[in-house]
Amino acid sequence: MDLLNTLVDKGLRREPPTRDEALAVLATSDDDLLDVVAAAGKVRRHWFGRRVKLNYLVNLKSGLCPEDCSYCSQRLGSKADILKYTWLKPEEAAAAAGAGVAGGAKRVCLVASGRGPTDRDVDRVSKTIAAIKEQNEDVEVCACLGLLSDGQAERLREAGADAYNHNLNTSEATYGDITTTHTYADRVETVRQAQAAGLSACSGLIAGMGESDEDLVDVVFALRELDPDSVPVNFLIPFEGTPLAKEWNLTPQRCLRILAMARFVCPDVEVRLAGGREVHLRSLQPLALHLANSIFLGDYLTSEGQAGKADLEMIADAGFEVEGADERTLPEHRADLAAGGHGPCGDANGEGVCGGSPGSVPPAERARTDLVAVRRRGTGTELPPNA
C-alpha cells in the first residue's frame, strides 16, 4: 500500500504525515489492519527497538474532584462506586511505588484528583518524591496534580520530579463538550509550564468519547506541536455513574488504528498504551506493543488492570523486553533536546512543520461492561497492590 510505504519513510526521517494521510490511517479497513500495524511497527522499532517501558500509577488521593470532566469516575457529581480517600502519607505512597518498581516499573506516576495543587499540596508531594527516591534512587517520578500555578513546576523539579503529566484528552473544538470547569488552553499552558521548568512533559489523549476521526487527528497533531516526550493513548473506560457510561464506541481494530496514527504523527516519542487497553483491545493487546513502546503495569487510578504478571508474560510472549532502569527511553536526539529545549516533535532539525470511516461501533449487546472493574486493592485499601 503506497500510503503505508510513504508513512514509514516519513517516520524514519521524523517527518510528519499530512492530515489527510493521518485520516487515511484511521479509515483503513480491517482487511488492511495487519499491514498498518506492521508499517507503524517498523517506525516504532527504528526508534525504540523492542524495549517496553513500564510505568506504575499511585493514586495519592481518590475521588471528590471539583472538576466536571465527563470521562472521569472521580468527577464532580460522579456516582461511580470508586474508592475515596484523602492524601496518602509519604511512606504509604513510597511503599506503593516500591511494589511497582519491584514489578519492573521504571517510572512511578503520582496522581491526585483536583483542579490543581495548593502550595501545601506541592509540599506533600515533594516529601513523597523524597521518600520514593530514598528507597529507589534511579526510579523516574512523574507528577500529575492538575493545573499548575506559577512556580509550582519549578518546586516539583527541585523536589526531584522528573516529569509532569497533563493530558489534552480531546480536540480543542470539542473540549467544551467534555469539560466546562476549565479550558483546553488551561491544559496547554500547564504542559508549557512543566516544560519551561525543565520537567519532561507527558501529555496524551482519550479515545472513545464519541469524537470523530478529525477530532483524533486534531488532538494528535496538537500534541505533536506541543512536543511532549511521552504521549499516553487512553481508551475511555465507561464507568457506570459517569456521563459517558454508555459510550462504547471502540473495537480492538479501531484502537490499533488510533495507536498507529499516533505513532506515525509522533514517530520518535514515547507512545504509551494507557488506560482502557484491557477493556477495548482485549486479546489483541500484544499487537499494540508493535505500536506503543510504553505501558502501565497493573492497576489504574480507580479501575483494575491486567495482572502485573500477565503484563510481563505478554511482553515476553510477543517478543519484546522490559526496558531496564539503566537504558535511555528516548532516542539520543530527543534526549539532547530535552537537555537544551525542545523543537516540534519529530522534526529532524527541531524546526519543522507541526501541524474515512469512523470505524465499526459494537452493538450494545457486545459492550464488555464486565471488563470494567472498580479498583478494590492497593493504595487506599489493606489489600496488596497489583504489580
Q: How far apart are CA 226 and CA 265, in angstroms?
A: 13
The answer to whether 256 and 21 are in contact (CB under 8 A) is: no
Does residue 297 sit in helix, strand or coil? coil
pLDDT of res. 345: 53
pLDDT grade, residue 337 (50/70/90)? low
Q: How far apart are CA 294 and CA 269, in angstroms?
A: 10
Residue with cell 528507597: 135
The model's pTM: 0.90
pLDDT of res. 368: 72
Tell whether the model's pLDDT for residue 360 goes beyond 70: no
The answer to whether 153 and 116 are in contact (CB under 8 A) is: no
Q: How far apart are CA 312 and CA 58, in angstroms?
A: 19
**Cell digits for 145?**
496534580
pLDDT of res. 361: 45
> Residue 169's closest CA among 256, 252, 255, 234?
234
Cα torsion through 44, 259, 233, 223, rounded to 10: 80
> Please, where are the H alpha helices in the chain?
2-12, 19-26, 33-48, 90-102, 119-135, 152-158, 175-178, 184-196, 213-226, 252-265, 277-280, 285-288, 308-317, 332-340
Which comes out higher in pLDDT, residue 262 or 351? 262
Domain covering 14-371, topology: TIM Barrel (3.20.20)
pLDDT grade, residue 351 (50/70/90)? very low
> Residue 366's closest CA among 242, 252, 239, 207?
252
List, for residues 274-315, the tens digit of each pLDDT value.
999 999 999 999 999 999 999 999 999 988 899 999 999 999
Q: How far apart are CA 381 and CA 222, in angstroms?
A: 38
Tell whether the model's pLDDT for residue 207 goes beyond 70: yes
Does residue 168 sit in helix, strand or coil? coil
Active site residues: 65, 69, 72, 109, 142, 202, 272
Tell whether the model's pLDDT for residue 350 goes beyond 70: no
Q: How far apart are CA 363 and CA 102, in angstroms?
A: 41
pLDDT of res. 338: 61
Tell the burial category of 72 from Cβ atoms under 10 Å away from its Cβ (0-12, 13-18, 19+). Answer: buried
pLDDT grade, residue 343 (50/70/90)? low
Ramachandran region of residue 310, left (φ > 0), alpha (ψ -120 to 50) or beta? alpha
Cα distances (angstroms) measured from residue 71 to each of 15, 52, 335, 343: 33, 27, 33, 31
List, for residues 217-246, the tens digit of each pLDDT value.
999 999 999 999 999 999 999 999 999 999
pLDDT grade, residue 386 (50/70/90)? confident
Mean pLDDT of 66-89: 91
